[in-house]
Structure 1
């Protein structure tokens, strides 16, 4: 017998929030029918409006919080929730850590594996840590803008302070954006696969402070490229590498296969656990250097390796895991 959803689109309901999804959405149930609600926390009672009804679940939007969770905190910026930059910013950090621990515990339980999941090891400063940014460039109201997509869409939300990124990276994005505006570089238009500049990528060494700017273009030719490079290097003295990556395809893939060094080197250098790594535009390198060092140290300690052991680094990126483990052997 076909099940009929007990809720209707655009109707409002008072519901109790009982759980969080792995995406950080509150979970409520009406007649055992799950409703996923953004910006709602366990123990809260909210008035919500149903915005979408599917066969086995629905999505809702908070209209009013009738009973507030003790773990709720004020939003830093609503845009961080809208874009998914910080989907749990309304939840106390300690509670976020417990949420993550619980998620892992639940995953093991589903597999019927009985293990103790220790408390999540957090950060002293859980923001301004990312050493890499990949920022779309689009035309909004006739003006070149950089920012992040609204969740589940390709609608760009202009942002200058990305909250979780190294602040120097955020500053660099604004500088590059303004230079692209100065030389009237056409932003990418995905509807027709037109325009020139698709994305700006910025990497910055956590310890070295060396910076790389990657201009990802649809076209081989980047108009005024010499002037753009000159302006970037003048404005951003930390920049050691400026690369143009060409991605001509109509695709969601960020980068194409071709890299052209426009200035400086093809790589920057940074240090992780005392080891130096050369990082290219395409390198996989952990984006949270503070937590990476904690993770690798803990993994090495737990592994209790000896000189006779062999470590297989199956998805190695630039080899940070195996090389860090080799230090103690």
Structure 2
């Protein structure tokens, strides 16, 4: 069979009009129906581009000259935006970002989930009044350059570290602490980890910040268990930064891109810092999963609580419960809540958080949701409402089958991936549920990520 020739060629220039954005935020233009993806381009813009790569079904281009720009285009305020891979949408107005995320959810629900979006109420994206300085956790790789340490984010599509004093989506307190810790480490000649040679010591600096409590934890991720000039470094940190309540070392001696190793030790202060979301207080350890945007987390969880429509008489199952964040919100309005999570340390945190808040009607179990919940069902346990908040890969098939067997009146699906959300909604719809409404929430402004809360009801 003759090979079909693409209508564009590598290193050739084309004038195009962009008509959409990919889920990664690149502009989409077409030449004779053949899609070309170009970073930093927006719908309705005309531009001269250069094709830099041609694949079987699409091409990649580079923006050469913008000839007509979108009314939603703005100047990205971050000075390293074009280099850093942390944000993808700073050149799009915030209103434009919120519209893009709602449209993205609608398109995926229709394409993957086969849902009739004219019958499913996909609400406008809930955004932030001030969509900057929202991240309560900084975890920055550390490297060396010209004898000094650099700390920042990786450059796009590389492992070259961009030295960075300020990140516009980080809490300013995190930036201050990272810079102070980097300076202290430089003073004592501490060497950064070299991933190519697998030598050196300091891999990452992580800072966790309690938005309400103002408490700070500093985590050193190191290649080896020793700690050069440990006492001096700790003394300087605690003298300079009185808001630091905890200093922790995590040892990762593997040649890997994974940030954390298996061993974590408290060097100074407490094992936990604390923060609050609404009226619920949480203990946060170095390894705890805790949402990085607590202001929008409150919006997300309140929407989940609204969709659960609890009267105080319901039994609720919270699958993938983590440290109990959603469970404890639900427990305030439910008769009882049963949370399940595969990470033992997270379940210990969840139990501690329930005790911390005086919540006695929430119980937690360790295990895979797709194993534990079917076992509960076999034992005769029922749920009026099931809440799922799975990882990006979505719900396991066995869990979806158990939901369909158990037939709770409502399912509330909290998702960080519209694609797997749509896939799972199709399964639940075919099994007798109706998707009523979907609420996108902007947890990560200036990035392409969007979270959703979805309400499903059992078709009687």
Normalised by the length of structure 2, the TM-score is 0.70
* Structural mapping, 1:49-60, within 5 Å: 49-60=50-61
Counterpart residue number, 2:66: 65
Per the alignment, in what secondary structure is the counterpart of residue 291 of structure 1?
A: helix
In the alignment, structure 1 residue 277 sits paired with structure 2 residue 278: no
* 1:147 positional shift: 0.7
Counterpart residue number, 2:4: 3
* 1:51 positional shift: 2.2
RMSD: 1.2
* Structure 1, gaps ≥5 residues long: none
CA distance in 2, matches of 1:258, 1:71: 47
Counterpart residue number, 1:156: 161
- Structure (1 or 2) with the larger CA radius of gyration: 2
Per the alignment, in what secondary structure is the counterpart of residue 18 of structure 1?
A: strand
* 1:189 positional shift: 0.7
CA distance in 2, matches of 1:82, 1:34: 25
* 1:234 positional shift: 1.1
* Structural mapping, 1:1-329, within 5 Å: 1-110=2-111, 111-114=113-116, 115-329=120-334
Per the alignment, in what secondary structure is the counterpart of residue 80 of structure 1?
A: coil
* 1:303 positional shift: 1.3
Q: Structure 1 143/9 Cα, relative in aligned 2: closer, same or farther at 3 Å?
A: farther
Per the alignment, in what secondary structure is the counterpart of residue 311 of structure 1?
A: strand
8 Å Cα contact 1:81-1:87 kept in structure 2: no
Per the alignment, in what secondary structure is the counterpart of residue 105 of structure 1?
A: helix
* 1:315 positional shift: 1.4
* 1:10 positional shift: 2.5
Measured against aligned partners, the alpha-carbon deviations of 1:76-99 in whole angstroms (never above 9, x if no partner) come to 125234323221001110110010
8 Å Cα contact 1:241-1:267 kept in structure 2: yes
* 1:3 positional shift: 2.4
8 Å Cα contact 1:51-1:60 kept in structure 2: yes
Measured against aligned partners, the alpha-carbon deviations of 1:211-241 in whole angstroms (never above 9, x if no partner) come to 0000000111121111111111111111000
8 Å Cα contact 1:81-1:89 kept in structure 2: no
8 Å Cα contact 1:85-1:162 kept in structure 2: no
8 Å Cα contact 2:204-2:221 kept in structure 1: yes
- Corresponding residue pairs, total: 329
* 1:143 positional shift: 2.2
CA distance in 1, matches of 2:11, 2:180: 43
User: Which stretch shows the higher mean deviation, 208-217 or 29-38?
Assistant: 29-38
CA distance in 2, matches of 1:310, 1:32: 52
* 1:6 positional shift: 2.4
User: Which stretch shows the higher mean deviation, 146-155 or 242-251?
Assistant: 146-155
CA distance in 2, matches of 1:147, 1:138: 9
8 Å Cα contact 2:153-2:161 kept in structure 1: yes
* 1:278 positional shift: 0.6
